[in-house]
Chain A
C-alpha cells in the first residue's frame, strides 16, 4: 500500500494539495452562500490532510497520519456546529447569503 503511494512523486501531492487549498480560499472569499463557504473550509482542511498523509508516508513517520485523524474529528465537529448555526440563521433571516448578514457593521 505504501509503495502505491510512493509511485506518485511528492511534488504532485504538493501541487494537488496547493491547488485544493487555493480553491478553498477563493471559494471562501468569493462565494456568497454560507453552505458553500463551509464546504470550502472543509476543502482547505482536507488539502492539508492530504499533504500530511503524503509527507507521513514519505518520511515513514506515523505522527502525520495521527494528526490527520485529529483534524478529521475537529472538522466533523466544526461542520456539525457550523451547520447548526447555519440552520438557525436561515430560520431567522430566510437567507444564507453572507453578504446580507452584516449586523456587526460598525
Chain B
C-alpha cells in the first residue's frame, strides 16, 4: 500500500525528469506518451485507492522519512490518503491525463514539445504533493511547486516579451498570497506546535483558543488561497495567464493550481468552522469576485479571456460555498467545474488550433459546421456551466445557492443567483458569437478550417460525457433517489457534515432551484436572440457605453494597481538607485579608492631614488631616537 501511495506523485516526477533530461533527443511520440503514461498510472493507482477507501477502509497515512527534525520541531515527508485527498487526486490525475493526451495533438510540431511535457508532469507532481501531504509543510511544498510550474508554463513561449511578463505577473501575485499563507503557517505552529493536520485538529478543541487568534489564522490562510485561487484583490494574474499554451490554461483552471485555495480551506475546515468572522470574509470575497468577474467576462472579446474570467467567477462561487460552511458543496463544484472548464478550454484550444492562432471572437463565427465535435462538446460544456437543469453545473451550483439561502438569507442568494445568471449570459454569448452566424475571419483561415485530430477530440468527448453526467455524483437529497448526496457522504469523514441546506423545506428548495434555472435559461435565450438570431458582433472598445467600457477594462484593476503600487515602487526604486546606490554606496566605495590613490601620489615623492636623502632620513631618525632616550 505504502509503495502505491508513494508512486502516485513520484511517477509524474519521474516522467518530468526523463522528459526534461533526455526528452530533446526522443521522438515526439515517445515524449508525449511517456508523459501521459506516467499520469495514467497515477490515475489508475488513485482509482485503486479510491475504491479502497470507498469500501470503508480507514484513511491511510504513509511516512517516507522525517523531512525536518530539529529538537522538538518535527516534520515528516508523509502522505495522507483520506476521502478529500483521494478525491482531489482523482480530479488532478484524471483531468490532467486528458489534458496530457490532448496536448500531444495540440503541441504537435512545437520546438519545446519535450519541455512542455516535462513541465506538465512536474505540475501534476506538485499538485499531488499539495493534496496528498499529511502536513502543512508538504502542502506548502506543493503550493510553491505549483506556483513555479505555472510560471514556467505561462511563460512557455518565452521569446514573446508579453508572455514572459504575464508569467512574472502570475508569479509575483502568487508570492503575495504565499506570504499570507506562510505567516498563517508560522502562526499555526506557534499556537499548535505542529504542522501535521492530525495534531492541529486534535489539539483544536483542547486548547480553548482565543477566537481572535483563530480568525487571524483563518484570514492568513485565506490570503494564500486568494492568491492561488485568483480572488479579489489578487485575481488579475489569472486572465494574463492566458499567455500560456491553451492546455496549460485548462490545467491551471480546471484540474490544478486554482483549486488549491479551495482545497486549503476545505482541508483546514475545523479551523475555519471555529472562526466565523474568517468564514464571513471568505463568503463575502467569494460573492464579490463572482459578480465582478462575471461582469468583466460580459465584455471580453478574447475567447480565452472570457473563460479565464468565468473561472474566476466560478471560484468565487466555490469560496461562497466554503464561507457558508458547505465544504462538500464547494468540492462538488470543484469537480464539475474541473470537467466543464477543462472541456471549455480544450474546446477553445481546438478552435484556436483550427484558426491558426486566432483568439478574437470577433474574427470567428459560424464554426459549428466546420468543427462539429468541438461545437457539440463546447455546447454541452456551456450548458453545463450555465446551470441548465440536469447537467452537472446545475446540481453543483444549486447546492451552493441553496446553502447560501439557508446560511445568510435571501439577499445573498439573489446576488449569488445573479452571478450564476451572468455565467449563463457570458458563456452563451461566447458560444453563439463563436459558432453561430457567418465566418468573419480571413479567406486564408476559411480555406484552412479543419476539425482537430482524434487525439484532441477524444478527450473532448470524454469530458463532455463527464460534464453532462457529473451531477450524478451528488444529486440533491430532495430528489429522493438512491445515491443522492453520494459525494457529500463520501467526503464527510474529511470535511464534516455541515450542510445548512438541510434546514430548508422541500418547497423552498424547489422554488430556489426553479428560479435559478429560469434565470439561466432566460439568459441563454436572450443571448441566442441577440448573438444567434440577430447575429450581433461585439463592438470595438470605442463604441462601448461608459459602463460597458468599465467591464471591458476589467474595472480598471490593473490600472489601479499600476498607479497605487507599481508606479510608486518604481519611483522609490529610482530614488534609491540615485541616492542610496549611486550617491551613497558607490560614492563611499569609489571615495576610498580615490583617496588611497591621492595619498599614494603624495607619498611617492619620498621615494626619490636619492640615497643621500634616505641616509639623511636615517641619521635624523637615529639622532631623534638618541635624543628621546637621553631626554
A104 to B612 Cα, complex, angstroms: 13
Q: In this assembly, does B608 line the interface, its C-beta being within 8 Å of a C-beta of chain A?
A: yes
Q: How far is the CA of A103 from the CA of B607 in the complex (A)?
A: 11
How many B residues, CB 8 Å from partner? 12
Within 8 A of B (CB), among A57-79: none
Q: Closest approach, in angstroms, between the C-beta of B620 and any C-beta of chain A?
A: 10
Complex-state Cα separation, A105 to B612, whole angstroms: 13
> What distance in Å separates the Cβ of A55 from its nearest Cβ neighbour in chain B?
18
B604 sits at the interface (CB 8 A):
yes
Contact of B612 with A29 in the complex, beta carbons under 8 Å? yes
Q: Please measure, in the bound complex, the distance between the C-alpha atom of A101 and the C-alpha atom of B609, giving whole angstroms.
A: 7
Partner of A102, one of B606, B609, B615, B616: B609
- B611 within 8 Å of A by Cβ? yes
Q: How far is the CA of A99 from the CA of B604 in the complex (A)?
A: 18
A103 — which chain B residues lie within 8 A by C-beta?
609
CB within 8 Å of A: which of B597-622?
604-612, 615-616, 619
Task: Give B572-609 interface residues, CB cut-off 8 Å to A.
Answer: 604-609
Would you call A29 and B616 a contact (CB within 8 A)?
Answer: yes
Shortest C-beta distance, B430 to chain A (Å), equals: 83
Partner of A105, one of B609, B615, B616, B619: B609
A37 CB to nearest chain B CB (Å):
8
Residue of B nearest to A104 (CB): B609
Q: Is the CB of A106 within 8 A of B612?
A: no
Given contacts A25-B619, A29-B619, contact A105 B608 (CB under 8 A): yes
Residues in B neighbouring A101, C-beta threshold 8 A = 609, 611
Distance between Cα atoms of A106 and B612 in the complex (Å): 15
How many angstroms between the C-alpha atoms of A20 and B608 in the bound complex? 29
B608–A106 contact, CB under 8 A?
Answer: yes
Contacts of A28 in B (CB 8 A): 612, 615
User: With an 8 A cutoff between CB atoms, is A80 at the interface?
Assistant: no
Chain A residue with minimal CB distance to B622?
A: A25
> In the complex the two chains form, is B619's CB within 8 Å of A106's CB?
no
A29 to B619, CA, bound (A): 9
Nearest-neighbour CB distance to chain A for B444, whole angstroms, equals: 79
A89 located at the interface, meaning its Cβ lies under 8 Å from any Cβ of chain B in the complex = no
A39 beta carbon closer than 8 Å to chain B: no
B contact patch SS: helix
Mark A23-59 against chain B: 1 for CB-CB distance below 8 A, else 0: 0010011100000000000000000000000000000
Instruction: Tell whether, in the assembled complex, residue B606 and residue A106 are in contact, meaning their CB atoms are under 8 Å apart.
Output: yes
A25-B619, A29-B619 known; A102+B612 contact, CB < 8 A? no
Q: Are B619 and A98 in contact (CB under 8 A)?
A: no
Q: Which A residues are CB-close (under 8 A) to B616? A: 29
Contact B612 A98 (CB under 8 A): yes
Closest Cβ–Cβ distance, residue B602 to chain A (whole Å): 11
Please measure, in the bound complex, the distance between the C-alpha atom of A25 and the C-alpha atom of B612, giving whole angstroms.
Answer: 11
User: Would you give the shortest CB distance from B432 to chain A, in whole angstroms?
Assistant: 89
Encoded as 1 (CB less than 8 Å from any A CB) or 0, chain B from 98 to 140 comes to 0000000000000000000000000000000000000000000
Q: Which residues does chain B contribute within 8 Å of A29, judged by CB atoms?
A: 612, 615-616, 619
* Contact in complex: A99, B607 (CB < 8 Å): no
Residues of A within 8 A of B612 (CB): 28-30, 98-99
Q: Which B residues touch A25, using CB under 8 A?
A: 619
Task: Judge whether B619 and A102 touch: CB under 8 Å.
Answer: no
A68→B92 CA distance, assembly (Å): 102
B610 contacts which chain A residues (CB < 8 A)?
A: 98-99, 102, 105
User: Are the CB atoms of A106 and B604 closer together than 8 Å?
Assistant: yes
- Docked CA distance A28–B616 (Å): 9
Q: When chains A and B are docked, how far (Å) is the Cα of A28 from the Cα of B613?
A: 10
| Nearest A-chain residue to B607, judged by Cβ | A106
Bound CA span A106–B610, Å: 10
- Kindly list chain A residues whose C-beta atoms are within 8 Å of the C-beta of B608: 102, 105-106
Interface residues of A in 1-34 (CB under 8 A from B): 25, 28-30
A1 to B333, CA, bound (A): 128
Q: How far is the CB of A24 from chain B (nearest CB, A)?
A: 11
A29 vs B620: C-alpha distance when bound (angstroms): 11
- Tell me the bound Cα distance from A98 to B613 in angstroms: 11
Q: Tell me the nearest residue of chain B to A30, going by C-beta.
A: B612
Question: Are the CB atoms of A98 and B606 closer together than 8 Å?
Answer: no
Residues of the A chain whose Cβ atoms lie less than 8 Å from the Cβ of B619: 25, 29
Min distance, Cβ A64 to any Cβ of chain B, angstroms: 21
Contacts of A102 in B (CB 8 A): 608-610
Contact present for A105 and B607 (CB under 8 Å): yes
Q: Which residue of A lies closest to B619 (CB)?
A: A25
Encode contact with B along A80-105: 1 for CB under 8 Å, 0 otherwise. 00000000000000000011011111
Within 8 Å CB of A99, what residues of B?
A: 610, 612
A101 to B606, CA, bound (A): 16
Residues in B neighbouring A104, C-beta threshold 8 A: 607, 609
State in angstroms the CA–CA spacing of A98 and B612 once bound together: 8
Rounded to whole angstroms, the CA-CA distance of A102 and B615 in the bound complex is: 14
- Report the minimal beta-carbon distance from A45 to chain B, rounded to whole angstroms: 15
B604 partner residues in chain A, CB cutoff 8 A:
106
Q: How far is the CA of A104 from the CA of B605 in the complex (A)?
A: 12
State the CA gap A103–B609 with chains docked (Å).
6
CA distance A5 to B65 in the complex (A): 99
Bound form: Cα–Cα A29–B623 in Å: 14
> A102 CA to B611 CA in the complex, in Å?
8
A-B contact list, 12 entries, CB within 8 Å: A29-B615, A29-B616, A98-B611, A99-B610, A102-B609, A102-B610, A103-B609, A105-B607, A105-B610, A106-B606, A106-B608, A106-B609
Given A25-B619, A98-B612, A99-B612, 5 additional A-B pairs, CB 8 A: A28-B615, A102-B609, A103-B609, A105-B608, A106-B604
Q: Which positions in A face B, CB cutoff 8 Å?
A: 25, 28-30, 98-99, 101-106
Closest 4 CB pairs of A and B: A106-B607, A102-B609, A105-B609, A106-B604
